[in-house]
Structure 1
């Protein structure tokens, strides 16, 4: 069934930059709600994070702004007008008629590439609640079984202990090539997953502070004080 789903991909074919920005909108809605919807600057900071991203990117403001405009044209994002700056929110759930759990999983796949069920369970803690790994698997299968499919199962390759899942928003994927690729890191034990969660929380706090400083500077309409 999964191989057939790989041929019936989602209608919205995104560039890597658009996929990254959409994943950031999904993530930040849950992790930094006080800064959401995101400004172009906040979306750029989120897209260029060094942690919880695969691959790491270095997008400039123009590329992020273009990605947001393209997502808006595709019905996957919406501009929200503000007195200080233009902001954007994602529309993935409404556009694809997805429950929050599946929106969260799609966001993680957009941000971090192919992942196992247990990786997604550990990384989804701040985005949505799942009962257990089987609950995650159930929602992933729903994403794979849609017409058109939004995700595809990647069977485990040599030396790998678990199957993985990949999103299809950037078009068809080479399942065989992904299966043969050795992940950059082995599935993290509980301690490593907890450390990763703490690093993500710290990074979110830094992004929130930067956003607040940018808002204060924008509201003042003056040059930053000498620091």
Structure 2
């Protein structure tokens, strides 16, 4: 298997830079009312314990340094006019990729190696892909990206023993060690994603039931009169 050529130097990121820009990409989709982010909010997002692989313990100085580098690479912008500095990503334009490709790269940067099926599931709050085949199509385009455009941005890893599907990894931090631990992959990663989706659905259903009970003038189930 031929080793893929990493992206051009302007797109090569450190792990901290990848975490910072991907966190901005995530929050733009999932909490638009709080976006663009202050440095403090961005730091909290980078250091989340959920939906992150690996989990990091970054300092404010780490985030500030990464923001400076990302601004030089045209992947992040500072928003003017705010009382405190706020930042937004410019990844899609800076990297020269389609929206769907940017979503997949952001998820790979945040959650590590994943199968196409896991990426589709994890992308629910970012972008709704029609099916797994559409995810695979965009991944294949990113893997076959021409040298003129900077080379491949993802690689399909060899299928692990006993695994039903191959995992994908991004190349934004350079070449990937296919023998590295599963980084958000396999049954554990898929189960975690399903648990998070179910928890969000349950919370939404509870809110709907509470609203209906209020309109009907009755107590929600499980509450004393």
TM-score normalised per structure 2: 0.80
Shift of 1:60: 1.0
Shift of 1:3: 3.0
Secondary structure, in 3 states, of the residue corresponding to 1:3? coil
Q: Deviations over 1:175-219 (max 9, x none)?
A: 3x24xx4566633698753421356799xxxxxxxxxxxxxxxxx
Q: Are residues 20 and 73 of structure 1, via their aligned partners in 2, closer, same or farther at CA, if it must alter by over 3 Å?
A: same
Partner Cα distance (1:70, 1:201) in 2: 38
Q: Are residues 191 and 168 of structure 1, via their aligned partners in 2, closer, same or farther at CA, if it must alter by over 3 Å?
A: closer
**Aligned partner (choices 153, 156, 176) of residue 156 of structure 2:** 153
Shift of 1:149: 1.1
Partner Cα distance (1:84, 1:101) in 2: 33
Aligned equivalent of 1:112: 111
Contact kept? 1:116, 1:163, Cα under 8 Å: yes
Secondary structure, in 3 states, of the residue corresponding to 1:134? helix
Q: Are residues 135 and 62 of structure 1, via their aligned partners in 2, closer, same or farther at CA, if it must alter by over 3 Å?
A: same
Within 5 Å, give how 1:80-99 maps onto structure 2: 80-99=79-98
Aligned equivalent of 1:187: 187
1:173 partnered with 2:146: no
Shift of 1:82: 3.0
Partner Cα distance (2:160, 2:47) in 1: 30
Secondary structure, in 3 states, of the residue corresponding to 1:78? strand
Partner Cα distance (2:166, 2:152) in 1: 18
Contact kept? 2:118, 2:190, Cα under 8 Å: no
Q: Are residues 10 and 123 of structure 1, via their aligned partners in 2, closer, same or farther at CA, if it must alter by over 3 Å?
A: farther
Q: Deviations over 1:137-177 (max 9, x none)?
A: 001111111131111111212122211111111111123x2
Contact kept? 1:154, 1:166, Cα under 8 Å: yes
**Higher RCO (C-alpha under 8 Å, 6+ residues apart):** 1
1:55 partnered with 2:54: yes
> After TM superposition, what 4+ stretches of structure 1 lie above 3 angstroms from structure 2?
181-186, 188-194, 198-202
Secondary structure, in 3 states, of the residue corresponding to 2:168? strand
Secondary structure, in 3 states, of the residue corresponding to 2:186? coil
1:162 partnered with 2:162: no
| Long gaps (5+) in structure 1 | 203-227
Partner Cα distance (1:112, 1:190) in 2: 11
Partner Cα distance (2:47, 2:201) in 1: 16
Count of paired positions? 197
TM-score normalised per structure 1: 0.79
Partner Cα distance (1:71, 1:106) in 2: 16
Once superposed, what is the RMSD of the aligned Cα atoms?
Answer: 2.4
Aligned equivalent of 1:103: 102
Secondary structure, in 3 states, of the residue corresponding to 1:26? helix
Aligned equivalent of 2:7: 9
